[in-house]
């Protein structure tokens, strides 16, 4: 099983970068639950302050392009991919070798040119065959509609829709959708519990099982 987690960092110069608020918790909890369940787990992690769960092989990456390279290396041998990472959509057009200095006289505005990163999931899941792919989506408006469009665009089997309150928090409210619409929802539940339920998507197809709705 392959899991991605955490943010990516897109460097501007040796000491500055663009990133996001992702803590990596959801992906790490999925990796922990999967390893505890007996799966062989590889966890591709962006820069996060999280302990590697027992029995999990961890691959640390920094940028979206690093994460793509790690996915391309590990996805062929996987049966399933949980793509929980918050991948940066853009990176600086150029990474400066030395620190970006402000103008001596000060007061000037600065412009940073960005280029789009590839869609990692779309790239690797295009020819996924029988492998199961679980995407994640963080939406602040029009959630189900946008998540369903992403599921189709990225060739995922399920997509886990989160609100922005899930970022860097121990609990989250999620709705899992497949191509036909919502499958189940969990309101304000610990990520560890939601992770276990997400794992059951693989064995039961819907994620329903012993974990009861509160
Ligand atoms: N994702 C990816 N590569 C990217 C951006 C996102 O693989 N460059 C993955 C995420 O890991 C997640 C899913 O795609 O599983 C949806 O991520 P999200 O950021 O919600 O979607 P985007 O495609 O970036 O769309 P937008 O930011 O415009 O909402």
Within a domain: residue 106? Answer: no
What's the gap in Å between 137 CA and the centre of ligand 1?
7
Average pLDDT over residues 86-109: 90
Is 70 exceeded by the pLDDT of residue 56?
A: yes
Ligand 1 pocket (Cβ < 6 Å) reads 64, 83, 85, 87, 89, 117, 119-121, 135-138, 150, 154
193 inside domain: yes
pLDDT of residue 204: 59
Q: What's the confidence (pLDDT) of residue 213?
A: 44
Reported in sequence order, the residue ranges of 46-167 that DSSP labels E, i.e. its strands, are 57-60, 80-83, 90-92, 114-116, 132-138, 158-162
What's the whole-number mean pLDDT along residues 10-31? Answer: 96
**Mean pLDDT throughout 70-90?**
97
What SS3 class is residue 179? coil
CATH of the domain at 153: 3.40.50.10300
CA angle at residue 103 from 102 to 104, to 5 degrees?
115
| Domain assignment of residue 183, yes or no | yes
Q: Tell me if 100 is assigned to some domain.
A: no
Predicted pLDDT at 107? 75
If you average pLDDT over residues 157-177, what whole number do you get? 88
Distance from Cα 56 to the centre of ligand 1, integer Å: 24
**Is 86 domain-assigned?**
yes
- Which atom number of ligand 1 is nearest to the Cα of residue 123? 7
Amino acid 208: pLDDT: 53
The answer to whether position 214 is within a domain reads no
Count: domains in the chain = 1
20 an active-site residue? yes
| Domain residue limits at 91 | 2-95+111-204
Which pLDDT score, from 0 to 100, does residue 165 have? 78
107: left (phi over 0), alpha (psi -120 to 50) or beta: left
Question: For residue 212, what pLDDT band results from cuts at 50, 70 and 90?
Answer: very low
Average pLDDT over residues 121-129: 97
């Amino acid at each position: 099983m392959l899991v991605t987690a955490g943010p990516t960092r897109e460097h501007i110069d040796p000491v500055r970068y663009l990133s996001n608020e992702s803590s990596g918790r959801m992906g790490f909890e999925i990796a922990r639950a999967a390893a505890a369940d007996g799966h062989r787990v590889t966890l591709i992690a962006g820069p996060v302050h999280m302990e590697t769960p027992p029995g999990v092989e961890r691959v640390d990456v920094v940028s979206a392009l690093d994460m793509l390279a790690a996915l391309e290396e590990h996805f062929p041998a996987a049966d399933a991919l949980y793509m929980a990472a918050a991948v940066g959509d853009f990176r600086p057009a150029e990474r400066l070798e030395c620190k970006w200095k402000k103008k001596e006289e000060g007061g000037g505005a600065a412009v940073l040119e960005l280029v789009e990163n590839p869609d990692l999931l779309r790239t690797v899941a295009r020819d996924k065959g029988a492998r199961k792919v679980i995407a994640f989506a963080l939406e602040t408006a029009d959630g189900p509609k946008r998540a369903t469009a992403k599921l189709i665009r990225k060739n995922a089997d399920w997509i886990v829709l989160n609100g922005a309150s899930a970022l860097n928090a121990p609990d989250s409210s999620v709705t899992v959708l497949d191509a036909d619409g919502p499958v189940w929802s969990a309101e304000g539940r610990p990520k560890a519990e939601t992770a276990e339920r997400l794992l059951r998507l693989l064995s039961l197809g819907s994620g329903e099982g012993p974990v009861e709705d509160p």
